[in-house]
Structures are given as structure tokens and as C-alpha cells.
Structure 1
């Protein structure tokens, strides 16, 4: 095989800054911003503390982004976290991470978002008893087809979906301004705040509120999987992350101010669907239909972005483990890891079918994702310190300021989130441990297979 052919069989720098920002924003802004604000309002109990929590979420996410920007600038790789964990801790830890992403984190997120899409599409057009699962499966199949066509097709789709998603949030802001200026119907009487929020001080409840705030901000770290495909200097990832998080933080604050003006802090705290309640107050039943479409688009946006970055981890595993070499094939013309993408979508469809067959399947998948996610997020943040010590001579186009204070601070946040996940999601924690045990068994089997020629990572 020629050198040119070898280069085409691995990721190439084809993504611009605008496309990278669209993918990051699309991953982060999902269904969370349409649900979490009511819980944050309940746990904080006051407008000031509520808004402070959302600002803190943006700052914490930016500190984490600084850590990832250093790692991605020093070691740009389609494997993202997988590659960083591999360099810092070895192939066993990185394999367990890849297994966790494939079986829980990425495919679970795709399935969850597919159900969100299905729920809101069912409100517009029901397809029968299993309408939500059917709509969700159709979304997974359609977006898999788009991603399989090539990185330009998926990135272009992401740009348009992200634009539509942001316009949906702008609609919420407009509704809040509409009510604030005295137009529209009068807001309903504000109900009494939940007892937990009323009896607790803001500081005592702020930690629990941050669980939901950071969940809503989650996903920006997925940008690391695009580091090998981003054009420009190695500092481009820092620019993409910085612009994305600044935009997301401003949007989140504007949306929460709209909720606050339209419903009040107590109305937010008691709302089951805060966005739908706001638009119903502002625009009636038409508003509810509009927000249903907006949430469905938000879910599609996050599914597409998650597919783009998730398949890169499976590709990296296939390059490192000969027994899984089929996953490590890069389609040179389309610029996608086709086999890794198909495997990911197939497993996500299995989860959609499984979740559709059980009551509460959506909640179960939400539960067991969190502990696994924060465990490896913590290990990735510590990997920056490990690699600073182990590979001091590696060129670092960008270095985290105030090292090691900021990396240690972010690692402590990850530990707190892990503890919160284990404390409040006990059933999910057991399921997460079970998944990692299965991954350990698979690792044991792979390590005992007859040695073959290894495929070198790009």
C-alpha cells in the first residue's frame, strides 16, 4: 500500500471551525435545557442562586475544556479520550473506556435521545402503541444513512440542525420577552415551592442543583474526537471549545431568564414541562406545538453529533486490537469509519427496541449512564497531569493556565459528580458496574487470542 493510500485510510483535517462549533453545540444543547431548569429552580429556591448555578456550570465546563484543549493539541487523535487514557494508563483502561462508550455512554445517549424525539413526534403524530420507539428507530436509521454518506454530509446536516435548535431556544427567549412586555395571556398563579427547596438553604441545595446543571452542559468533551479532523493549527480546538461554550452559556442564561419572567421561580419549580408551559402561556396551544417541534429537532441534533464522535472511538479500538480490526477501517472517499458507525447504530437500535419493550426503560438507561461517564471523565482529567510527568518533552501548543490547580479542581468536580451519581442512582450504579465487568471479561478473552499482526494507530 502506498503512502498516499495509508494517509487516506485515516482521518484527515477536513472540518472547519464553524462546522466544529456546530457539532459541539449540537451535542451539548439537547433535551436537558427543556427539562432541567425546573429542577434547578426547585433546588436553589431563588432567582439569584438559580442563575448563579447556570453561570457556574459554564465556568466549570470551560475549565474542563481547557484541560481537553491541551490534550487534544498535544495528541490530536480520532480516539479522543480513548487515546489520552491509552497513553496515560495503558491499553486495558482505554479498552474498558471504549467498551463503556460503546455499550452505555454513546449508544445509551443515542437511544435516550431517540426516545425524546419519539415522545415529542408522537404528540404530533402517533404511530400506535410503540409510536415512540418506532419514531426513535426511524431517526437512528435516517441519521445513520446521512453519516454513512460522508463527513461533509453529516457536518452539513449538523450545521442546519444546530441552527434550527438554536432558533428553538430563541423562540423561548422571545416568549419570555413577550410576557415580560405585558403581551400574551397572564401567567398562571405561581404554585408553592417544593418542600425540599423551601426548607433548605441555597448553599445546601446548590450541590444537587449542579448535578442537573452539569448534566445539561455535558457533551463538550466529545470535541476531542474531532481533533484529528480539524483544520488549522493545533490551537484550533481551544477556539472551537471556547466559542461553543460561550454561546451555550449565553443561550442557557437567556432561556432561564425567559422561564423566570414567564413563570416565576415557583412556577418553574413545580413545572413538569417548563418550556411547554411557558409557550402555552405566551402563545396558547400553538406554542405547545411549536415547542414540541423544537425539542424533537434538539434531539435529532444531539443524535447526529453523538453519532459523528462516537464512531471515532470504535474506530480507534479497531486500530489497536487486531481481533477487532474490522472496526478500524476508514472509508477514504467518504471520510468516515463506516464499520464502526454501523456497529454503533446497530447496538443503539437494540437499546431502542429494549427500551420500547419495557416501562421505564428510558429512566433505567439514564440511571446507569451517569456513574460510568463520570468515572472515566475523572480519569481523563487526571491523565493530563500523568502525561505532563510522563511525557514532558512532547510539544504542547497550548498549556492549561494555573497548572495544576485548574486540572485538580476539575478532577474534584468529577469526583463529586461520581459520588452524586452513586448516591442518588443506586440501581444505575449496579448496572454500570455490571457493564464494566462484562467489558473486563471481553478484555480477558481478547488478550488470550493468538497474536496477529497489530494495526498501528494513526
Structure 2
């Protein structure tokens, strides 16, 4: 046991591995699921592409802030390390508490539910009658919980297994997105049909082919905001959304889709040559993601037409199935499922390092700060994280729109701490001016100040979005954070040296 406690992480992640971690986490299913609603709120192709571009630039600003902090403190823990250095142990503990109970299990649960939804959808094409005999919610909970446990098991086997799993998922999802982009550039552009103003008769959908309960981040919002393409319901007037509110909510969803670029800082101690590879991975990953997202939006507009994109609920399948045949629907569903697994694996891999860092510094949580020498992994942290995430899945699985409720539950808390981290950059510049900083954010202090303003606006918009729910998830999240603030007074004392 003593050997395990003194074992430290090994530097096994190359620049390519680090870029794969970032792209694997960021490029999930949001590009397929949020785009229709963002398109509806944007109102035109130019504004849509502009929103995605601006969102990417905001994420790039944030990535540069994290690049300076990560290269200044190249050890596992990410935000926890930065907040502890700037504000003290109590703030660092409060962040890990929020990550432990709110942010991390919610994000893992989101991706697990998306994997369940689209893997189920792919199976429907193969054995519809067999699936019809089992309730959809049973499949959803089983697949979501199973994905978390299997990927946690792979990460228990060590950094090498976890990183190879991440690399395979990342390459697969990027290849799939490039196929969608290629189809959009090669296939004939969409030609709008003759508009029929009268409502069509409701479509008959076989129970076996019905999509499982919607679990996308925009499901609740889009249910009334977008037209039902199956029944021919008329599109509601957009006047109910003031232009500024529309753009703010669209930006919340865009930045949700870009979310995860900060995760590489959690495994900084395992990156080779962190002084140069950390900031390169952040910038290369974000620029690559921006290009992929912009090209994907362009391809979808070309394949579906703007109105078709703004009204679609299964955008990827709708774009390819009519052109490439019914099996394309199954293929696209598998693509989205694989994408969600990549994001899920990346979050499991990075999140466990955060809890390990807390355990390595605070005596109360020392049982988490054990690095297993045999498997070269923080097994206890991975196990505890998986248990909490599965409990979150079971808890939110009772909601019809589980993904939407998890977004509302965690997003305001996430943006609050991102704001705190960026403010820590200013504090550390003042408190520790002589600290070696291999990467310094350009245009200081204006660039980080601009990102701070964006954080405030996104926090406000996401909090308003959370309050729209009748389930009061935001209040539960605030309650958990408040409890952590009280506990921090008693347990956030560092180990005596």
C-alpha cells in the first residue's frame, strides 16, 4: 500500500495523445443535436455560421487562459490546482466538491444517455421486433450505466489502455464527421419542395421504430420551438424570443458543444514536455474542432436546406438516409454512439485525476490519492467516480428529457467555476510575478477580461435556462455547492509536511 501511495503519474501522453483527449471530449454529439435549434434561433445561414465562429473564438480565448495556467502548474488536477494556488484550499475543495457531485457525474451521465439513445436507435434497424418487447427506459438505463462501467474498467487497466481507447474513438468520430462533410460537398444540394400551407395528416409511426425518449440538450426547448416535421405542424412565430435572448441561448448551446477543451489540464502531469505540448494541444485541438464544426454546419445546410435543418430532430440521419439509403440511418446512429463514447471515455479519464489530486493533498480524502503502481492508474478515484455517475444516471433517468435536465443541473455551476479560474490568472500574475510561465496569453489583460465578460453572460443565460424547468435542478445544484462551502471550513486543511 505504501508503494502505491508514493507512486506518481508517468509522462506517457504525447502531443497527438493530448490532442486526441481534447478532440475526443469536445467532439461529442452536440454538433448533431444542438445545430437544429441553433439554426432556428439564428434565422439565417450567415448568422448560424457566425455564431459557431464566435463561439469557437470564445472557446479559443478560454483555451489560451488555461494554456498559461496549465504550463505554469503542469501537474494533474487542472482547475483544482489553479483555484487552490490563487484562492486557497477551501476554494479548491469547493470546486472538487462541485465536480464530484454536480458537474462531472452530470456530464458523464449526459454522454451515457446519448450513447444509450443512439445505440438503441441503431439496434432498431437490426432487430425492431425484439427491441419492441422491452421498455425503452430499461434499454436507456442499461446501456447508459453499462457504458460507464465498461469504460471505467478500461481506464482501471492503466493510462496506456485509456489513451488508446480514447485515440480509437477520436479517430473514428473524426472520420465519420469527415464523411458527413464530404457528402455535403459532393452530393447535389438540397432543392426546396413546393410549400404546402395546410397541415398534413399525422404520420403513422410503428412502435418498434419509435425513437426512445428524447435525451438531447435541447429537447425540452425545441419541443415547442421547432416544427414537427412528421405531422406538418406549422412553425411557431419566433417573436416570442427577443433577438438578444435568442442569440444568448444559441451561444449557450454552441459553447456547450465546444465544452471540454479545459480537460487536458487535469492530466497535465502525464503529458510529455508539458511546457510546449500543453498549449500546443489546446490550440491545435480547438482550431481543428472549429474547422470541423463550421464545415459540418455548411454540409448540413447544403444537404437539408436551411429550413430543413432548423426543423430537423434527427439531423444526421435526415441528411444522409434519403441520399444513401436506409442503412445510412443505422450507420449515422452508430457514428453518434461512438462519438458519445469518446467524450465519455475522456471525461472518465480526466475526472479521476482530479479526485486523485485532491486526495494527494487533503488528509480527509487521502484514500483517493492512491496511484496504483501495478496498473499505473488512480483506481480508487476511477471507481468512486463511476459509482457516483451511475447513481446520477439512475436518478435522472426517471425524467423524459434526462439530458436536458442534466444540462440545466450542471451548466450554471460549470460556468461559475470557469469564471473563477480565469480570474485566478490575474491573481497569480500579481501574487507570483516570478513564476515560470512557458506560455503567456497574448493581449493581456484584455483577452482574459473579454473571456471573463463572456463567462458572465453565458452564466446568466444558462441560469435563466435552468430556471425554466419545473424540476428545480438549479436549486439542487446550488444547495450541493452551498453544503460544500460549509464543509470546506472543516475538511480543506492540507497535509502536514
Q: How high is the TM-score relative to the length of structure 1?
A: 0.92
Q: Report the CA distance between 1:79 and its aligned residue.
A: 0.7
Structure 1 333/73 Cα, relative in aligned 2: closer, same or farther at 3 Å? same
2-side partners of 1:253 and 1:236: how far apart? 25
2-side partners of 1:319 and 1:402: how far apart? 35
Matched, 1:211 2:252: yes
Q: How does 1:360-439 map to 2 (within 5 A)?
A: 360-426=401-467, 427-439=472-484
How many pairs were matched up?
A: 446
Q: How does 1:59-458 map to 2 (within 5 A)?
A: 59-125=57-123, 126=131, 128-129=134-135, 130-180=138-188, 194-196=236-238, 205-426=246-467, 427-446=472-491, 454=495
1-side partners of 2:403 and 2:306: how far apart? 28
Matched, 1:31 2:61: no
1:54 alignment partner in structure 2: 52
Deviations 1:317-365 (A, max 9, x none): 1112111111000123433211111100011111122223443433322
Deviations 1:112-149 (A, max 9, x none): 11111111122233482200110111111110111000
CA contact under 8 A between 2:105 and 2:388: conserved in structure 1?
yes
1:235 aligned counterpart, secondary structure: helix
Deviations 1:159-209 (A, max 9, x none): 011111112212221332343368xxx6666877652279865x6733332
Structure 2: 5+ residue stretches without partners: 124-130, 196-226, 228-233
Structure 1 25/189 Cα, relative in aligned 2: closer, same or farther at 3 Å? farther
CA contact under 8 A between 2:111 and 2:343: conserved in structure 1?
yes
Q: Report the CA distance between 1:286 and its aligned residue.
A: 1.5
2-side partners of 1:189 and 1:175: how far apart? 24
Deviates more, 1:325-334 or 1:379-388: 325-334
CA contact under 8 A between 1:329 and 1:337: conserved in structure 2?
yes
Structure 1 187/297 Cα, relative in aligned 2: closer, same or farther at 3 Å? farther
CA contact under 8 A between 2:416 and 2:459: conserved in structure 1?
yes
Deviations 1:290-336 (A, max 9, x none): 11101100110001000011011111111121111110001234332
2:397 aligned counterpart, secondary structure: helix
CA contact under 8 A between 1:14 and 1:230: conserved in structure 2?
yes
Q: How high is the TM-score relative to the length of structure 2?
A: 0.85
Deviations 1:1-51 (A, max 9, x none): 99xx69961222211011111111010011111111111111111111111
Structure 1: 5+ residue stretches without partners: none
1-side partners of 2:263 and 2:169: how far apart? 18
**Structure 1 counterpart of 2:42, from 16, 25, 44:** 44
CA contact under 8 A between 1:315 and 1:329: conserved in structure 2?
yes
Q: Report the CA distance between 1:428 and its aligned residue.
A: 3.3
Deviations 1:223-271 (A, max 9, x none): 1112111102512111101111111111101110111001111111111
2-side partners of 1:265 and 1:11: how far apart? 49
1-side partners of 2:240 and 2:389: how far apart? 41
Q: Report the CA distance between 1:282 and its aligned residue.
A: 2.0
2-side partners of 1:6 and 1:157: how far apart? 24
CA contact under 8 A between 1:321 and 1:455: conserved in structure 2?
no
**Structure 2 counterpart of 1:12, from 10, 16, 21:** 10
2-side partners of 1:86 and 1:173: how far apart? 43
Q: Report the CA distance between 1:441 and its aligned residue.
A: 4.1
Q: Report the CA distance between 1:54 and its aligned residue.
A: 1.0
CA contact under 8 A between 2:166 and 2:345: conserved in structure 1?
yes
Structure 1 455/295 Cα, relative in aligned 2: closer, same or farther at 3 Å? farther
Q: Report the CA distance between 1:75 and its aligned residue.
A: 0.8
2:275 aligned counterpart, secondary structure: coil
CA RMSD in angstroms, aligned pairs only: 2.3
